[in-house]
Structure 1
């Protein structure tokens, strides 16, 4: 999604020379340096780096000794994913209650959605350092602990506690964004694509469930307890994760002791800095337009539907969940379209056309909001996917892929963090929803123009070959 994510990137499996081309699978994450570093890293133990692709590490070939799919660990991954997007949208259905009880304006409420997204862009390097220092297992638990602590703190009932809790939630989710794809690559090497797809779907399910049920819970127990209740899901995820990882760590340690890890990948010559690439800047603008639109719409859609269509708060929360759940359709449809049309730029233009139906449709025919929410929901899930496909196709090797992905997502999330704040401030200034919808429409237009100019892909030969391996020096760093 817008992101839930995601957002969201593409994991690549590294294939040996002479094998078939790589396959991609969607995984929402903001990569940072050293996400697989440190003495506790499986990559370090194996004397190699898990090369980083779009939004996550490139996956190694299947290890000996890991033939069975660890079902309990898979359940743990999915439960963790439920907590990596839900807290972001929990505030939207109870915006009016927070404004009334906290005595703050729409711009301040917008911070409760934009702060975590800003963390995604700025705190990813710190998350990578934490993972390197603490190890993968502890980093996941730190992520869940941060989400739980922030959830409780946000629900205490004061503006200061709400802002502080939101910051803690954002930092916790940032760690989860970085570390979970590392877990998928390490512990599901034979089923990376399907596990990544399930993880991505769980992100959207978490956002949808939270968006749909927070308002009814608030009607029963008040908004503070309604927000705090979602902490129980964090506790469940931590319990399952701890149990599953104890088994999986022992299994992985036994495999490494047997010396079954694959050799380091071949070296590739480093290229010029992505910061000098017009394509990199174009994709960054496209991602920023996508993410700004997503977070701006997610934060204010329930309130808009309640104001413009007379829906109750609970009805508005359920209606906005269409926008979240249809993202799964878009995410799985876009790769098929890219394979068919062979041009990511054309797919991106089609996605932005569907995206634009939300602001334009709500301006022209607001009574048809279920249609506009459904079309735009599929578009926002597909939009982030097609941008990451373009990143893969414009990357000459895996190092370039990592650098380009980090630039695109880091810059895009920083811009996206302003979405709820800008949309809320424009609504406050104009007293209506026409201007905010035009702002969202403008951001979709930025996505269309920048993405169409930069998402065209490389030559057929380069696309068939896929990115080259990371340099040997980078592999040695873990």
Structure 2
């Protein structure tokens, strides 16, 4: 199956015709997983999980110079350290479906929180080897959250998908911005970078203790279900095909059944049923009036690689500046605290720009306008940091607006360029796995060039060149040469 190739599992939709007609469409299950609805307070815990998906990474940038001074590492080694979480994302994300299949979604989130907290502590309390091991563990824990948080949020808030997407995206950005703002003051107050980073082990442990309630509740429901006739396999009604598309377009979307059902119980035909759903959702006459979708396999479509490249370039810009902006600012004469404020501005503005960019997402029937509008500010910021570094706060504002909008555009392109939900999930897996590998080049090359040249000009030239390349790719990825989705949703809004 297409979804299987991407390392993901799609919600079961293969009920028989008799089962489907047993309920009116309006009463069909709206979630992509089986089981009763999650109580509101427990459902809201997913947003606390989202708050923990960036601080352990974002807190490193403001103390990167301290880490280098303490361990005797130059900019090249520090660049590798900045790229390590992205390598963990790329390596671990495809494996999450196997862990989820074994333990269930909620247990996997619990494991991820514990791994994240352990990584924070190992990185802070160990020696040089502990820094590397802890950083990879941090990336692995966050990778699981990247995969599962969007899906759980959309499952538990099936009737308010857009609101849930905006809230969890805002929580991720807020956590990142808060860590960037407080890292330097924490290091100054507690006497070093180690305690400043160890602090971020506490929030995931607290959330893990709360999340344990969901895990216990799952166990009770599974025991109760074992006494009944069985667990009903959920299905998606034709009217909910838009929600399925949105769920499939999220970060390496994985939907797993928490009830640990056997493979036989969970057998379904997602490809066939999804096609039936989307065909029913769109009149035949309307389908006939539109160009056919690209019939080639995913990896043979040029659009796949343009979307993947756009995803990688925009991620590269974000993680490069998240790691190196504080060092760049202090080298320009700003204090550590002032540099932390600039990083906070750079990261937090993504919330606002991410909410505004969907307005441009369908200008002239394509995404070129939105992709270029999101990409151009990073070019301006790159030239600004290179030519007028004393105005770094202004470039942080401009660059921050661009990075937030770019991620929304990247996620939306993934959603719109898939032919159906399974194809979209496969595209998401490919674009994000390879995209993170491309993104890792940014912080690594930035640090290496800074060390080799002894100045910040050479790395900023490379950074700006990548930003210009993103603008070029924006035109190619934003153009619509094929009607890639059988059920394109013109009003679809994805947020970072």
TM-score by length of 1: 0.80
Query: Quick check: 1:357 aligned with 2:389?
Result: no
Q: How far apart are 1:388 and its partner, in Å?
A: 2.4
2:8 equivalent among 29, 34, 56? 34
In the other structure, the counterpart of 2:140 is 171
> Which residue is 2:41 aligned to?
72
Tell me, in whole angstroms, the C-alpha distance in 2 between the residues paired with 1:240 and 1:366: 45
- Match of 1:457, SS state, is coil
CA drift of 1:466 comes to: 4.5
- 1:461 and 1:414 mapped to 2: Cα distance? 25
Q: Kindly indicate whether the alpha-carbon contact (under 8 Å) linking 1:32 and 1:128 is maintained by their aligned counterparts in 2.
A: no
1:115 matched to 2:138? The reply is: no
Deviation per CA, 1:369-409, whole angstroms, max 9, x where unpaired? 22211121111111121122222332221222122222211
Q: CA deviation at 1:295?
A: 1.2
**Match of residue 22 from structure 2:** none
Residue of structure 2 equivalent to 1:290: 314
Q: 1:204 Cα deviation (Å)?
A: 0.6
Question: How far apart are the structure 2 equivalents of 1:340 and 1:450?
Answer: 18
- SS state at 1:191 partner: helix
Deviation per CA, 1:417-474: give whole Å up to 9, x if none: 122111011001111111111111111122111221132136689686449xxxxxxx
Is 1:203 the equivalent of 2:227?
no
- The offset of 1:141, in angstroms, is 0.8
Is the Cα–Cα contact under 8 Å of residues 420 and 486 in structure 2 kept in the other structure?
no
| Alpha-carbon displacement from aligned partner over 1:288-319 (angstroms, at most 9, x marks no partner) | 211111111111000101111x1111211121
Query: Equivalents in 2 of 1:102, 1:157: separation in Å?
Result: 12
Residue 230 of structure 1 is matched in structure 2 by 200
**CA 1:144/1:327 → structure 2, altered by over 3 Å: closer, same or farther?**
same
Q: Distance between the aligned counterparts of 1:441 and 1:240, measured in 2?
A: 44
**CA 420–60 in structure 1, closer or farther in 2 if over 3 Å, else same:** farther
CA gap of 1:257–1:282, structure 2 versus 1, over 3 A, is same
Give the 3-state SS of the residue equivalent to 2:275 in structure 1: coil
Deviation at 1:155, TM superposition (A): 0.4
Does 1:278 find its partner at 2:302? yes
Greater displacement, 430-439 / 456-465:
456-465
**Contact 1:144 / 1:234 at 8 angstroms: preserved in 2?**
yes
Deviation at 1:181, TM superposition (A): 2.2
1:318 pairs with 2:349: no
Query: Are the equivalent residues in 1 in contact too, given 2:31–2:156 (CA < 8 A)?
Result: no
Match in the other structure for 1:187: 156
Give the superposition deviation at 1:228.
0.5
Q: Identify if the C-alpha distance between structure 1 residues 328 and 444 changes in structure 2 by more than 3 Å, giving closer, same or farther.
A: same
Between the aligned partners of 1:98 and 1:167, the Cα distance in structure 2 is 16
Query: For the residues of structure 2 that align with 1:356 and 1:60, how far apart are their CA atoms?
Result: 46
Q: Which runs of 5+ in 2 are unaligned?
A: 17-27, 237-269, 277-293, 491-496
Instruction: Name the TM-score, length of structure 2 as normaliser.
Output: 0.77
Q: Which moved more, 1:236-245 or 1:257-266?
A: 257-266
CA distance in 2: counterparts of 1:72 and 1:371, whole angstroms: 40
Distance 2:488 2:401 in 1: 30
Show CA shifts across 1:234-259 (max 9, x none): 11111222224545776798899785
Match of 1:338 in 2: 361
Q: CA deviation at 1:186?
A: 2.7
Aligned-residue offset at 1:180: 1.6
Give, in whole Å, the separation in 2 of the partners of 1:47 and 1:174: 32
Partner Cα distance (2:321, 2:97) in 1: 30
SS of equivalent to 2:361: helix
Task: Provide closer, same or farther for how the CA distance between residues 256 and 421 of structure 1 changes in structure 2, counting only shifts above 3 A.
Answer: farther
1:326–1:378 CA contact under 8 A, matched in 2? yes
Match of 1:268 in 2: 275
Q: Distance in 2 between matches of 1:44 and 1:63?
A: 7
User: Does the 8 Å CA contact 2:181/2:341 hold for their aligned counterparts?
Assistant: yes
Could you give the per-residue CA deviations for residues 28-77 of structure 1, whole angstroms, max 9, x where no partner exists?
Answer: xxx952345xxxxxx469869xxxxxxxxxx9726999998843224411
Q: Is contact 2:6-2:427 (8 Å) kept?
A: no
1:20-59 correspondence runs (5 A): 32-35=6-9, 43=11
Q: Residues 368 and 47 (structure 1 numbering): CA distance in 2 closer, same or farther, change over 3 Å?
A: farther
Corresponding position of 2:423: 400
- For the residue of structure 1 that corresponds to 2:311, the secondary structure is helix
Query: Structure 1's 382 and 266: CA in aligned 2 closer, same or farther, altered over 3 A?
Result: same
- Report the Cα distance in structure 1 between the residues aligned to 2:176 and 2:484, rounded to whole angstroms: 39
User: What residue number does 2:441 align with?
Assistant: 418
User: Which of 238, 243, 252 is 2:213 aligned to?
Assistant: 243
